[in-house]
Amino acid sequence: MANIQQVAKHAGVSVATVSRVLNGQNTVSSKTKMKVEEAIKELNYEPSMLGRNLRNSESRIVLILIPTISNPFYLEIIKGIENIAISHNYNILLCETDSDPEKENIYFDLVRKKMADGIISMDPAVNVETLKQLAEKYAIIQCSEYGGGIGIPYVTIDNEEASYRAVKHLLQIGHTKIALMNTDEKFLYARERKMGYERALKEHGIEMNNNYIFYTKDLGFENGQQAMKKILNLKERPTAVFAVSDLLAIGALKEINASGLNVPGDMAVVGFDKIDFSNMTNPTLTTVAQPMYKMGTTAAKMLIEKIQGNKVDSVVLDFELVIRESTAG
């Protein structure tokens, strides 16, 4: 494979001139530029992107932090980020943190060592203090889950309002005994979604029953099954359940079906996210649709703006309550 010196010799110019042409500088005459481009073509020369990026103090790589790759919620967001990144000549590196601070730090070091240009964080368990310190020097955007009041721009939806609408829908179709399937309240989205649940009940004059609130360790399908087992064993069983993620709701559906009960006749179910699987369940799942792909494209555009040194404002996107068979028999 030809090197830059051979290209320079073939074109009858200096290595510095070839470098200027490669870097798009306009200090080279059009005649010389043409000679260099012809030499590159004839010799099949491929410039080292790494070398060029190092000279420009950039890696053209952005990191995406996610807690787990197994949750389908992240797929559409990643697709959105990737499409915008590629269109701006950036590559993405997907970093599964397992919500482990040590793994997180390894990825943060890539930015500190200039091996990546910025971070889009979707990890609800991320160390907010470390992220805050990093954001003073480097480009960081929070996506979906965010720490408010820490000065890092984010893109999200109004979780409290979305949950309020979901629970209000259950109340409007006649349910008064509604269980909440939530996750750890150390996460902001879990606190906000519980607030929406409480607001809807309060508005309808229903006192919140702590026996109807169930916390799961993770957002997995099995966690939804386990929580539903407990709900079904209650002496005074609720007639509806609102789950803060579709995976939990799908696990709940499976358990209700296995127990011989009917959805929505015996128990109505509402999820959150509108992952693809939510339309494949039996019955299909009523859920809050998050604009995942748009979240991804918005986060990527914000990050590129930030990398370029521009000021970026946080964005709150719209959501939609999609009513399907699990609440409307």
Average pLDDT on 51-76 reads 78
- The answer to whether 59-157+292-318 and 159-290+322-327 have equal CATH topology is yes
Name the nearest CA neighbour of 180 among 281, 273, 278, 249: 249
Percent of the chain residues topping a pLDDT of 90: 60
Q: How many CB atoms lie within 10 A of CB 70?
A: 13
For residue 59, the model assigns a pLDDT of: 74
Domain ranges of the chain: 4-47, 59-157+292-318, 159-290+322-327
- Three-state SS string over 215-252 comes to EECCCCHHHHHHHHHHHHCCCCCCCEEEECCHHHHHHH
Cα 124 to Cα 67: distance, rounded to the nearest angstrom:
8
* Model confidence pLDDT, tens digit, residues 215-261: 999 888 999 999 999 999 999 999 999 999 999 999 999 999 999 99
Helix or strand run (H / E) with residue 153:
none
CB 273 within 8 A of CB 211: no
Report the topology of domain 59-157+292-318.
Answer: Rossmann fold (3.40.50)
For residue 329, the model assigns a pLDDT of: 57
Q: How many CB atoms lie within 10 A of CB 294?
A: 16
For residue 58, the model assigns a pLDDT of: 66
**Pure H helices in the chain:** 4-11, 15-22, 30-43, 49-55, 73-87, 101-112, 128-135, 159-172, 188-203, 221-232, 246-258, 292-307
* Model confidence pLDDT, tens digit, residues 80-106: 999 999 998 899 999 998 878 788 888
3-state DSSP call for residue 270?
Answer: strand
Domain 4-47 has CATH 3.40.50.11310: no
For residue 25, the model assigns a pLDDT of: 72
Long-range contact set of residues 306-312: C-beta below 8 Å, sequence gap at least 24:
306/118, 306/139, 306/140, 306/141, 306/153, 307/62, 307/117, 307/118, 307/139, 312/141, 312/153
Domain 159-290+322-327: assigned CATH number? 3.40.50.2300
For residue 54, the model assigns a pLDDT of: 47
> Is it the case that residue 52 has pLDDT exceeding 60?
no
Cα 2 to Cα 70: distance, rounded to the nearest angstrom:
44
Average pLDDT on 134-145 reads 91
Choice among 122-136, 163-177, 276-290 with the minimum mean pLDDT = 122-136
